[in-house]
Structure 1
Amino acid sequence: MRLQALALALVVLACSSARSQKPLDSDEEKAIEWLTQLYKKDVGVGVGKTTAQPINNRFNDKDDVFLSPRPKKNNKAKSCYTDAQEMGMCAKASNCNKEPVKLDSTSNFILREGNPCHFLETCCPLNQLLAKAKKPEAIKEVSCGYSNPGASVFREKLGSSKSGYADYGEFPWMVALLKTGAAGWVDENYLGGGTIIHPSVVMTVAHKVDTLKPEELKCRAGEWDTQTENEAYGHQERNVDKIIVHDEFFRIHVHNNIALLTLKKPFINEPHVGVACLSLALPPPGTVCYSMGWGEDFTKSDKYANLLKKITLPLVSSDDCQTRYRNTRLGSRYTLHRSLTCAGGEAMVDTCIGDGGSSLVCPVGNPGDLRYAVVGMVAYGLECGAENIPGVYVKVPELYDWVGAQMAREGFNRSSYDVGTEAQFKLRS
Structure 2
Amino acid sequence: MGYTCFCIMNTASSSSPACGVPAISGRIVGGTDAVYGEWPWQVAVTTANSLCGGSLINEQWVLSAAHCFDNSISPGNYKVSLGRYKFGESIASSVTVVVEKFTKHPNFIKPGDRGDIALVKLKSPVTFTNYIRPICLPNASVTFPSGMECWVTGWGTRRYGENLPSINTLQEVMTPLIDYKQCDQMYHIDSSTSSYTIIIQEDKICSGYAEGGKDSCQGDSGGPLVCEANGTWIQAGIVSWGDGCALKNHPGVYTLVPAYESWIKSYISDVKFVSDDQISGSPDLAPQHCGLSRNLYQASCVLICMNMTYA
Could you tell me the TM-score, scaled by structure 2's length? 0.77
Q: Which residue of 2 aligns with 1:164?
A: 32
Q: Deviations over 1:308-335 (max 9, x none)?
A: 0101110002221010111143522233
**Aligned counterparts, 1:204-219, within 5 A:** 204-211=64-71, 212-219=73-80
Alpha-carbon contact 1:221-1:273 (below 8 Å) kept: yes
Alpha-carbon contact 2:107-2:113 (below 8 Å) kept: no
**Cα distance in structure 2, aligned partners of 1:234 and 1:381:** 32
Letter in 1 for 2:43: V
Q: Paired residue for 1:262, among 121, 144, 167?
A: 121
Alpha-carbon contact 1:193-1:357 (below 8 Å) kept: yes
Q: Which residue of 1 aligns with 2:24?
A: 149
Shift of 1:139: 2.0
Q: 1:248 to 1:227 in 2, by over 3 A?
A: closer
Q: Does 1:419 align with 2:274?
A: yes
The structure with the largest strand share of the pair is: 2
Q: Paired residue for 1:327, among 189, 192, 195?
A: 189
* Fraction of identical pairs, as percent: 27
**Cα distance in structure 2, aligned partners of 1:380 and 1:300:** 14
Specify the structure having the higher radius of gyration (Cα).
Answer: 1
The structure with the largest helix share of the pair is: 1
Shift of 1:251: 1.4
**Cα distance in structure 2, aligned partners of 1:145 and 1:419:** 11
Shift of 1:253: 3.3
**Unpaired runs of 5+ in structure 2?**
1-12, 283-311
Shift of 1:423: 3.8
Q: 1:228 to 1:250 in 2, by over 3 A?
A: closer
Shift of 1:298: 1.6
Q: 1:354 to 1:301 in 2, by over 3 A?
A: closer
Alpha-carbon contact 2:101-2:120 (below 8 Å) kept: yes
Shift of 1:167: 1.0
Q: Which residue of 2 aligns with 1:53?
A: none
Alpha-carbon contact 2:15-2:128 (below 8 Å) kept: yes
Q: Which residue of 1 aligns with 2:158?
A: 297
**Cα distance in structure 2, aligned partners of 1:284 and 1:378:** 18
Q: Does 1:191 align with 2:51?
A: yes
Greater relative CO (CA pairs within 8 A, separation 6+): 2
**Cα distance in structure 2, aligned partners of 1:177 and 1:321:** 28
Q: Which residue of 2 aligns with 1:278?
A: 137
Shift of 1:250: 2.7
Q: Secondary structure at the match of 1:275?
A: coil
Alpha-carbon contact 2:111-2:241 (below 8 Å) kept: no
How many pairs are equivalent?
Answer: 262
Q: Alpha carbon RMSD of aligned pairs, Å?
A: 2.5
Could you tell me the TM-score, scaled by structure 1's length? 0.57
Q: Deviations over 1:205-232 (max 9, x none)?
A: 1111142321111111011112544x5x
Q: Secondary structure at the match of 1:265?
A: coil
Q: Does 1:340 align with 2:204?
A: yes
Shift of 1:381: 0.7
Q: Does 1:243 align with 2:102?
A: yes
